Structure 1
Amino acid sequence: MNSPCGEIKGVEYREEFVAVDKSVRLKVMAFRQSAAQDKSPVLFVAGWISSFSGWVPFIRALAGERDVYYLETREKESAIIENENLLEDDDFSIYQNAEDIIKVAEHFGLNCPQTIACGSSLGATSLLEAMKKGRLNVGSAFLVGPNSEFAAPRPLWWILSLPVCFYRPFTYFLKWYLRHFRVDAEKEPEQMERYKKMLKTVNPSRLKHSARSVILGKYQVWESIETIRVPVAVAYALSDKLHDLNNLLLIAKRLPCSKLNECPSNFYMHSEHLLADINALEQDIRTTTKNKHDRENHKITT
């Protein structure tokens, strides 16, 4: 099977649709090294309307040195859903995403401390929800712009009650809103271009369910966040206006083992350059673990 990001030397690619319940199967793109590598595998979960095309440079670099499993959550067009008309807002919630992530991780043998969880925006928040109380038992996480909540101006709430047929035309308003209020289109033109492309491929019905769940349901990440005991890097860029910096800082403060990872731009956080930051996180963890073992061995011998 041809990889959606082109051939990568030494990498075998395949796609699998994993059943997460009786009526839903989620697409996973698996990039596997043909030879053993001394690198932790990555389970990657992208953001709300994020498409794979926006992550190609980063995934190519990442998959060039380790196994990568790219999961598309159930609001994406790729999900296979039977009797979709019977599903409700809660079926597209972050809590449901967390359950799905855990099942996919178990399916591929990734629910273990050897795995690095990686994701952005809604995907990053869903990973945090899954990691609470150690249910997603990964060894560390690298999260780009996780959201503590998904607020929308109250005057726009009426849009969430519109029939699905209005959602395609509404994307024109959403592009205008993003450009003028949520994205610095001058400093981050690539970010705006990604959103324009993504909005052309969204599934309106699923997007509506997902938006209603997090906005009208008033989701917040704080409950039990202190139970996430593994190292978590929270990546952000000062030029990224879409993700609230104060909330990012508070997430990092509330996580027991976190570090802030400032990046020069949103473009950087979607590029091959981000690989260096993930490698640095992995090396820090290995060094800390080795030093801990050395101290314990020294105590035993003395």
Structure 2
Amino acid sequence: EYMCNVSDGISLKVIDFTPQNVSQGKPVIIFVAGWISLISGWKDVLKVLTAEHRVIYLESREKQSSTVPDVKKVSFSIERLKLDIGEIIEKVIPPSEKFILAGSSLGASAILEYCGSEKQKPLSVVLIAPNTEFRFPKILGTIIPALHPSLYFAVKPVIKWYLRNFRLDKKNSSEQVKKYENTLDCADPYKLKANALAIRNYAIWEQIVNINVPCLIIGATTDKLHDTEDIKRLLKIIPDSTYIELKSNMETHSEKAGRVIMEYMQGGSG
């Protein structure tokens, strides 16, 4: 575990898992989790992946772990997250070494944009419930710009209520509700606001051109937070893409999802 500096002065937390008997020919997996996501939510997926592969888990800049000298002077946009991925790859992956990019939600969006750049290409990418658009409801679109970050804890119950009742399946996925509420409890309100403002009204459709990398997209049947119809639209745009739909958001964070990823990598990219 270490901090890695990027070009605009921010330091990002990197957790490097290297199994003792890792084969030299196996690609490194760089994993970029979703919006303010906690590593604890990915422990089951990582358990499977780290058994055979070196996995570099990158915590993106909106997370509490990053060191940011001045939140007001840096960007938290998808474009900047894409640059972070490229800079971390240059720092930790030798040019001759093969790697795979995997991520979820916001991390998956940044990975897609990275793959459209002229940077070093991965063998393949794995996108778990990628966000193709970020559309805040009117109530949050009004609250967030006007809200001072210090008041975040006062409105946090409102955000939790909105997610619980309109964006999450609280009846069938109580564990998912608990996970996201814990994520909100651990968020840095200053970074959270800066990131929310930077990504509001974001849509990926004009950004994903020339994606010539094999791609596995994993969705979830009951996941209200990530639009499966938009994910299916992605499949039509990315030429070499495979779609696997699991039952729920919780299943996309499970050992089963880890095994799905391993099978895909072994079938097409080592």
Say whether the fold is shared (TM-score over 0.5). yes
Which one of the candidate residues 29, 45, 50 is aligned to 1:63? 50
Alignment of 1:52 with 2:35, yes or no, is no
Give the stretch that moved more between structures: 258-267 or 199-208.
258-267
Which one of the candidate residues 158, 164, 178 is aligned to 2:163? 178
SS at match of 2:116: helix
Higher Rg of the two aligned structures:
1
Amino acid paired to 1:200: D
Alignment of 1:248 with 2:231, yes or no, is yes
Structure scoring higher RCO (CA < 8 A, sep ≥ 6) equals: 2
Which one of the candidate residues 3, 16, 34 is aligned to 2:20? 34
Query: 2:27·2:97 contact (CA, 8 Å) conserved in 1?
Result: no
Alignment of 1:148 with 2:135, yes or no, is no
Per the normalisation by structure 1, the TM-score is 0.84
Residue 92 of structure 1 and its aligned partner are, at CA, apart by 0.3
Cα 1:286–1:50 change in 2 (3 A) is closer
What is the percent sequence identity of the aligned residues?
35
Cα 1:32–1:204 change in 2 (3 A) is same
Matches within 5 A, 1:207-246: 207-215=192-200, 218-246=201-229
Query: 1:43·1:71 contact (CA, 8 Å) conserved in 2?
Result: yes
Which one of the candidate residues 52, 62, 66 is aligned to 1:75? 62
Per the normalisation by structure 2, the TM-score is 0.94
Instruction: Supply the RMSD in Å over aligned alpha carbons.
Output: 1.7
Query: 1:229·1:257 contact (CA, 8 Å) conserved in 2?
Result: yes
Query: 2:124·2:269 contact (CA, 8 Å) conserved in 1?
Result: no
Query: 1:43·1:110 contact (CA, 8 Å) conserved in 2?
Result: no
Where do 5+ consecutive residues of structure 1 fail to align?
1-14, 288-302
Alignment of 1:118 with 2:102, yes or no, is yes
Cα 1:171–1:110 change in 2 (3 A) is farther
Partner of 2:90: 106
Runs of 4 or more, structure 1, over 4 Å off, are 110-113
Query: 2:41·2:253 contact (CA, 8 Å) conserved in 1?
Result: yes
Amino acid paired to 1:33: P
| Structure-1 separation of matches of 2:87 and 2:202 | 22
Amino acid paired to 2:59: E
Query: 2:28·2:54 contact (CA, 8 Å) conserved in 1?
Result: yes
Matches within 5 A, 1:261-276: 261-276=244-259
Residue 32 of structure 1 and its aligned partner are, at CA, apart by 0.9
Query: 1:45·1:123 contact (CA, 8 Å) conserved in 2?
Result: yes
Query: 2:71·2:194 contact (CA, 8 Å) conserved in 1?
Result: no
Partner of 1:16: 2
Cα 1:111–1:99 change in 2 (3 A) is farther
